[in-house]
């Protein structure tokens, strides 16, 4: 019995450690100077931190929850955020968006979203002129302004939905997470 308990504890500890290795366990240090790129990157950092903790510890019950028949489930919302994170990342590299859909597990989607956001933030913080960045859908190009009021704001909106949905299933947002400081209180 003790061996099983130790094995279970070890497995849970490994999961917790691997989760901490994902981007946005905490928000990175703020850039030294304010530029359009560093401000946009910091917005993405805030989104990444909120997404990390909104999705940390979600259960199958949480992922399947939807408040009405017409609503998306939490997992469907996460899939939507994955697409938004790809649009955000593509905008930082002027890469056209496609409708490719890959079959992924929740953990794979979560990891990909966090990595997409981290790459986008890092790229933005090094970008001197945001006017050169475009969101590209086929023949249509949109200025980076549209990324801010479009996929970035939309992703933040949906992260809030996930937090609300998990509260509805009895699994509230983890304690000790400061969205103001971007740190985990220990």
Indicate the domain borders of the chain.
Answer: 36-184
Of 40, 53, 19, 51, residue with least CA distance to 89: 40
pLDDT of 10 above 80: no
Q: What is the CATH superfamily name and number for domain 36-184?
A: dinb family like domain (1.20.120.450)
Q: Are 97 and 137 in contact (CB under 8 A)?
A: yes
Nearby residues of 132 by Cβ (< 8 Å), 6 or more positions away: 94
Computed over every residue of the chain, the mean pLDDT equals 91
Instruction: Specify the DSSP class assigned to residue 131.
Output: G
For the stretch 13-23, pLDDT in tens is 444 445 669 99
| pLDDT score for 186 | 82
pTM as predicted: 0.89
Q: Report the percentage of the chain scoring pLDDT > 90.
A: 86
Neighbours of 96 (CB within 10 A): 13
Question: What number of other Cβ atoms are within 10 A of residue 3's Cβ?
Answer: 7
The two tokens of residue 36 are 């359009």
pLDDT for 100: 82
For residue 169, pLDDT beyond 90: yes
Cβ pair 158, 80 in contact under 8 A: yes
Q: What's residue 109's pLDDT?
A: 98
pLDDT(12) > 50: no
Segment 111-134 mean pLDDT: 98
29 within 8 A of 42, measured Cβ to Cβ: no
pLDDT band at 3 (very low <50, low <70, confident <90, very high): low
């Amino acid at each position: 019995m003790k061996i099983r308990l130790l094995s279970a504890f070890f497995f849970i500890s490994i999961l917790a450690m691997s989760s901490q290795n994902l981007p946005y366990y905490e928000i990175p240090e703020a850039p030294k100077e304010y530029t359009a790129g560093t401000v946009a990157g910091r917005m993405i950092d805030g989104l990444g931190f909120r997404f990390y903790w909104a999705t940390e510890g979600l259960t199958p019950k949480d992922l399947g929850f939807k408040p009405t028949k017409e609503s998306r489930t939490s997992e469907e919302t996460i899939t939507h955020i994955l697409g938004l994170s790809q649009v955000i990342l593509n905008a930082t590299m002027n890469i056209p968006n496609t409708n490719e859909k890959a079959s992924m597990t929740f953990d794979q989607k979560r990891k990909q979203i966090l990595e997409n956001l981290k790459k986008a933030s890092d790229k933005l913080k090094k970008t001197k002129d945001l006017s050169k960045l475009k969101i590209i859908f086929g023949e249509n190009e949109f200025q980076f302004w549209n990324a801010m009021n479009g996929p970035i704001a939309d992703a933040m909106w949906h992260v809030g939905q996930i937090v609300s949905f998990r509260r509805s299933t009895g699994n509230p947002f983890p304690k000790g997470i400061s969205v103001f400081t971007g740190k985990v209180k220990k």
